[in-house]
């Protein structure tokens, strides 16, 4: 079965080709079916592979060699897929959640004229992400990495007639490129120091072969790769593209935020856990940046009014938690949170899509309220999502988040308290969103109220499935005090090596769990009392600062974008126009002049031709016998 792994990316690729080439002729419904079936087929193969990988008879990673990609001199990079516990888990998440999002899209996008194109892009997106996780070396990962970057650009700017949307797409692309540069440099350092990009070979050499910079090599490479992860997974300082990425259709947001793209950075670091364990300094940076992002994004989310913006910042914040987990060396925990987060965040986004669908495009939660009565399924599933992300015991988010908090506590209690604060804010802003949207009285126009309806079943069924997963998804990783057997950790253990196992006293662990869940409940009650009626009074002071996202976009604009634009204006004026243009045009003119002269030699006279040839022969003989010798 593992040998069939190439089928998994192949199906979405075929789907992309069919829909992409036939976007003029294929009917919308057919496009949806083709796109969804492609992902379903991949999912089925993934499940088959999962069972094989999960069986006790499976030993070590299986490498599936497809072809030699680059083979020149000493450089040899095969196009190979690696099937192991980590990649298989991601395969399941990507194809499983991806499939639900595709099904949802068939209904959500049905009124859009570009639906066929949309499904083509969606399939290409999934294809790229599958390449990313399947590659057995960093270059294949990088191809997928760039692929998702491109697809996110295409999908965020899907409604390209809107100027703001295309700007958001550009922003996402540029921010990602900055990170990609770090990834590229990291790859080149690996290649330079170890002569290979294959995971197995590289990790094998890591401990024994010190690089050109001695011990520091590890840190340098790890930092460069981490910069790539910062860009793709939207961490400080490169996170600003993710909230703007809301410009795309809502299912795309779900796909970017939950199943694909942003988890790429986590995957990359978890994949390179051997390297990061050798680079404790970098791990420390990872933890700090993750924690800072978690807190920072949570503060911003508190004061946002756009339903998707709140979710976007919550994604940034949750990604921060994952990086915190990576930073304290708990790689499996981070992957665990990726998984549970994929379930509940996809659920929340698709739920918000259902809300927006019902509201006829309205996204301001101040103008909603009381939607629960009209949309029971959306309300209940959304509530489950909120409970899960807030870490209420029994729901999946609780298990993974609690594990992160526990690992952080074992690493450094100060980090723990800060992370706890971020978790508290999560509970607050998520329930603020929930209460404002689904409870209370309707605050929109009469027209909208009349139009309110539950979404069709193609949209609600994915919601229900995801809601179920959001509840049960956490039981693969029970806390140590409840069960000694952590199914996910033991599943991943052959691939990912956690840095130092922490064993804390049972009492402490119970205390931490009680503390975080108790505080979450308190925050939910507080959110309920504080948000019965939204205020339209303009915010002042800190609240205004938060509403405007700490003015980070404006600061970037003033500090980086505008000086750069000014510099480029200057260069354009003085260097480009007078210098480079002159040289380029001069060369062109020179070539044309030379051409005009030389072509005169072609007289058409055979005698002259032979004469030139004889002259040439004489000259060549002169060079041979009297000229320079090597």
For another protein, the binding residues (CB under 8 A) are 67-68, 71-72, 588, 591-592, 594-596, 598-599, 601-602, 604, 606, 608-610, 612-613, 615-617, 619-621, 623-625, 627-630
Nearer to another protein, 51 or 608 (CB): 608
CB of 9 to another protein, least distance (A): 17
User: In this structure, what are the phi and psi dihedrals at residue 164, rounded to the nearest 5 degrees?
Assistant: -60, -35
Nearer to another protein, 161 or 599 (CB): 599
CB of 585 to another protein, least distance (A): 13
CB of 616 to another protein, least distance (A): 3
Nearer to another protein, 417 or 621 (CB): 621
Distance CA 143, CA 602 (A): 50
Three-state DSSP state, 505: coil
Closest by CA position to 451, among listed 366, 365, 380, 355: 355
CB of 13 to another protein, least distance (A): 15
Nearer to another protein, 188 or 622 (CB): 622
Nearer to another protein, 414 or 610 (CB): 610
Neighbours of 519 (CB within 10 A): 16
Nearer to another protein, 17 or 480 (CB): 17
Distance CA 349, CA 467 (A): 12
For residue 441, the surrounding DSSP H or E stretch is none
Closest by CA position to 186, among listed 277, 86, 276: 276
Rounded to whole angstroms, the maximal C-alpha distance in the chain is 105
Distance CA 471, CA 503 (A): 27
Q: How far is residue 360 CA from its own chain's centroid?
A: 29
CB of 531 to another protein, least distance (A): 56
Contact (CB, 8 A) for 156 and 242: no
Neighbours of 23 (CB within 10 A): 16
CB of 623 to another protein, least distance (A): 5
Distance CA 423, CA 435 (A): 18
Three-state DSSP state, 65: strand
Q: Residues for the chain: how many in total?
A: 630
Nearer to another protein, 71 or 216 (CB): 71
CB of 595 to another protein, least distance (A): 4
CB of 613 to another protein, least distance (A): 5
CB of 588 to another protein, least distance (A): 8
Distance CA 131, CA 42 (A): 12
Nearer to another protein, 51 or 609 (CB): 609
Distance CA 134, CA 611 (A): 65
Nearer to another protein, 575 or 591 (CB): 591
């Amino acid at each position: 079965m593992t040998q069939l792994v190439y089928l998994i990316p192949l199906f979405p690729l075929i789907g992309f080709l069919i829909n992409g080439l036939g976007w003029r002729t294929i009917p919308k419904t057919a496009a949806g079916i083709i796109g969804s079936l492609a992902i379903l087929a991949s999912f089925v193969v993934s499940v088959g592979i999962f069972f094989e990988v999960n069986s006790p008879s499976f030993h070590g990673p299986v490498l599936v060699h497809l072809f030699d990609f680059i083979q020149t001199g000493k450089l040899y990079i095969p196009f190979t897929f690696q099937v192991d516990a980590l990649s298989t888990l991601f395969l399941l998440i990507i194809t499983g959640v991806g499939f639900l999002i595709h099904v949802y899209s068939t209904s959500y996008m049905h009124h859009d004229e570009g639906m066929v194109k949309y499904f083509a892009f969606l399939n290409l997106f999934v294809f790229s992400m599958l390449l990313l996780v399947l590659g057995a070396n960093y270059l294949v990962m990088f191809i997928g990495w760039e692929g998702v970057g491109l697809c996110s650009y295409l999908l965020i700017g899907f409604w390209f007639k809107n100027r703001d949307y295309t700007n958001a797409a550009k922003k996402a692309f540029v921010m990602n490129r900055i990170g990609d540069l770090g990834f590229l440099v990291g790859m080149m350092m690996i290649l330079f120091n170890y002569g290979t990009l294959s995971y197995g070979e590289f990790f094998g050499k890591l401990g024994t072969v010190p690089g050109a910079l001695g011990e520091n090599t590890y840190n340098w490479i790890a930092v460069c790769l981490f910069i790539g992860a910062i860009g793709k997974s939207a961490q400080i300082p490169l996170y600003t593209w993710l909230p703007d990425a809301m410009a795309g259709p809502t299912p795309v947001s779900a796909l970017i935020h939950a199943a694909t793209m942003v988890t790429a950075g986590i995957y990359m670091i978890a994949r390179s856990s051997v390297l990061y364990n050798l680079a404790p300094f970098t791990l420390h940076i990872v933890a700090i940046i993750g924690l800072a992002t978690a807190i920072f994004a949570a503060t911003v989310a508190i004061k946002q009014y756009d339903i998707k913006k709140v979710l976007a910042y919550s994604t940034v914040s949750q990604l921060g938690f994952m990086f915190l987990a990576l930073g304290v060396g708990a790689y499996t925990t981070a992957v665990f949170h990726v998984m549970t987060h994929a379930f509940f965040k996809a659920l929340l986004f698709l739920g918000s899509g259902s809300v927006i669908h019902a509201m006829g495009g309205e996204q301001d939660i101040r103008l909603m309220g009381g939607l629960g009565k009209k949309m029971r399924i959306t309300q209940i599933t959304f509530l489950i999502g909120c409970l899960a992300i807030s870490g209420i015991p029994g729901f999946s988010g609780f298990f993974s988040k609690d594990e992160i908090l526990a690992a952080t506590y074992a690493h450094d209690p100060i980090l723990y308290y800060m992370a706890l604060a971020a978790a508290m804010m999560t509970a607050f802003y998520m329930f603020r969103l929930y209460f404002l949207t689904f409870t209370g009285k309707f605050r929109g126009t009469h027209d909208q109220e009349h139009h309110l309806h539950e979404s069709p079943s193609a949209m609600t069924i994915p919601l229900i499935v995801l809601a179920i997963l959001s509840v049960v998804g956490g039981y693969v990783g029970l806390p140590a005090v409840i069960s000694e057997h952590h199914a996910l950790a033991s599943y991943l253990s052959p691939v990912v090596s956690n840095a130092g196992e922490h064993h804390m006293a049972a009492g402490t662990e119970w205390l931490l769990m009680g503390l975080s869940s108790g505080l979450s409940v308190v925050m939910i009650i507080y959110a309920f009392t504080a948000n019965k009626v939204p205020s339209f009074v303009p915010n002042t002071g800190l609240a205004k600062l938060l509403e405007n996202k700490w003015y980070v976009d404006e600061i970037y604009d003033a500090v980086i974008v505008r000086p750069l634009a000014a510099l480029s204006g200057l260069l354009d004026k003085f260097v480009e126009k007078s210098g480079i243009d002159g040289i380029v045009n001069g060369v062109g003119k020179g070539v044309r002049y030379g051409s005009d002269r030389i072509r005169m030699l072609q007289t058409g006279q055979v005698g002259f031709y032979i004469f030139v040839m004889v002259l040439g022969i004489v000259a060549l003989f002169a060079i041979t016998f009297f000229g320079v010798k090597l």
